[in-house]
Amino acid sequence: MSQGAQGPLALLTADSEHNLDVLRRGLRRAASFAFYVILAADAARAEVLRRLRAWSGSGGVPALRFFAEGAEGAEEVARFLAVADRTHPLAGAVIPDGVALVETDGGAVVASLNMARDVLGKLIRGPLVLVIAADRAAELSGMAPDLFDVRAATLEIASVPGDPAPTFALNSAETRDRPQARSQAELQAEAARLRAFADDQIPAGSLADAWIRLGHAFFDAAELGEARAAAEEARRLAEGVGYTSGVGDALALEAQVLEQTGPAEAWEQALRRALTLHREAGEPVWTAVDLWRLGRAVAFLGRPEEAEGLLREAIGLYEKLGDARGRAIALGDIADTLEYRGQLDESLRIRQEALPVYERLGDARSRAVTLSKIAGVLLARGKLDEALHLLEHEVLPAFERLGDVRGKLVCQTNMAIVHLERGAPGDREAAAELLRSAGRDAEHLRVPEAAMIRELRRNAGLDP
């Protein structure tokens, strides 16, 4: 899935929200090439990019290609103009850093864009959005007068005066980047700032989004009560203005809290309502995420066949969206349900199918987790030597390279279990050493595995 725009997010002025509505309608209507210039800087610019990424490929907006930022992005635009395949034009594109275009190579990329004005429609069949700070727009216009002549619109986006809201990205299928953790005092101060806005001072939809972002930050900080309160406030605001996808986002956050606190019935209900609303809003990305989350929940609640159906529906959407990682994750969850039902061969086949995807994506952690689960299937089938070889030579080194101490200790515990079950000469001693190492790390981290390791050592008679 697309990563969120980097930098501080912001509450936008009412005029800016109106301009973003104009832009979104324009993106939906763009049946041919249309050029939009967005004047925004700092926090407002980050919020514009976040909105564009959220809109991309859903609700009638075409899938947008986002060029990189800085000098790298300018060079990427130059390469695109030089070698673009006119037989396969982009559905739409975003140049997020217009300032870099002006400053790189003396504006050579801007000159190339200007000269390409008449052929841009063959390279991009839909909208091209360029974001630049307002104080540099005149400079860009002077360097590319022909391009500016064909603008569909120039729209200014500004944030509400005052401190910007923190960088809180809504999470998708475990793929969104998270900001650095903020202190409880900082989060409480942000909550107080949001509560201080009068109902008519900030558009309710924008304020709902800010509460959702703050709720995710509270959730990441394990402040579950505050996270749920933020979700409820966001839902109240979104419902008041008929902001359907915002209500769905708030319910999805509420479901994350309920997953940890219960009751299970409320958790499932929140997920189902979020799914319904995201479908109604025409949000395929979030619909896929909701299907995936609901499938996992239903599996946890002991209904594996229903879970498999939901997960397969999610996979279908991920395939349409071209989201290889989301598809691989959902496939892994189907493999879990098949393993639970005793269909070990099919479970193993699916996990092996997912491995090349993680390798192509360079996702070493997901690859290691998948290999660990493959080892579990091999263990269940009685292939102890194969399971141990995989854990020792593939999984453990991967977690060590990643510096993932918890992954390492879990792997060591699984290796110890294989040694104890195999019972060959030296296995008992190897298991004892693995459990000592894993136990030390688990006690240091204070993770739940610590109690399991102590119990395993007692049952095996390996206590000192």
pTM above 0.75, yes or no: no
Whether 64 contacts 91, CB under 8 Å? yes
Q: Over the stretch 306-355, which tens digit does the pLDDT of each residue have? A: 999 999 999 999 888 888 888 988 998 999 888 888 888 898 999 998 88
Place of tokens 């020792």: 392
Whether 153 contacts 59, CB under 8 Å? no
pLDDT at position 199 is: 59
Place of tokens 């509505």: 21
Provide the pLDDT confidence category of residue 385 given band limits of 50, 70 and 90.
Answer: very high
Answer whether residue 403 shows pLDDT above 60.
yes
Whether 324 contacts 301, CB under 8 Å? no
Provide the pLDDT confidence category of residue 10 given band limits of 50, 70 and 90.
Answer: low
Q: Over the stretch 133-158, which tens digit does the pLDDT of each residue have? A: 888 888 888 888 888 888 888 899 98
Q: Which of 11-15, 105-109, 364-368, 445-449 has the highest mean pLDDT?
A: 364-368
Q: Over the stretch 158-185, which tens digit does the pLDDT of each residue have? A: 876 543 333 222 233 333 334 445 677 8
Overall average pLDDT of the 239-263 stretch? 90
Average pLDDT, the chain: 84
Q: What is the largest CA-CA distance in the chain?
A: 81
Q: In the 8-state DSSP scheme, what is residue 32?
A: S
Of 79 and 425, the structure prediction assigns the larger pLDDT to: 425
Place of tokens 């515990």: 413
Q: Which residues contact 433 (CB under 8 A, 6 or more apart)?
A: none
pLDDT at position 200 is: 59
Answer whether residue 260 shows pLDDT above 90.
no
234 alpha-carbon distance from chain centroid: 20
pLDDT at position 177 is: 37
Q: What is the CA radius of gyration of the chain?
A: 26
pLDDT at position 182 is: 66
Provide the pLDDT confidence category of residue 201 given band limits of 50, 70 and 90.
Answer: low
Q: Give the C-alpha distances (Å, rounded to integers) separating 164 from 7, 200, 214, 244.
A: 10, 19, 12, 25
Other beta carbons within 10 angstroms of residue 42's beta carbon come to 14
Provide the pLDDT confidence category of residue 248 given band limits of 50, 70 and 90.
Answer: very high
Strands (E), 197-341: none
- CA-CA distance, 173 to 206, in Å (whole number)? 23
Provide the pLDDT confidence category of residue 258 given band limits of 50, 70 and 90.
Answer: very high
- CA-CA distance, 454 to 464, in Å (whole number)? 11
Overall average pLDDT of the 397-421 stretch? 91
Question: Which residues, listed in sequence order, are joined to residue 131 by a DSSP beta bridge?
Answer: 38
Provide the pLDDT confidence category of residue 8 given band limits of 50, 70 and 90.
Answer: very low
- CA-CA distance, 253 to 269, in Å (whole number)? 13
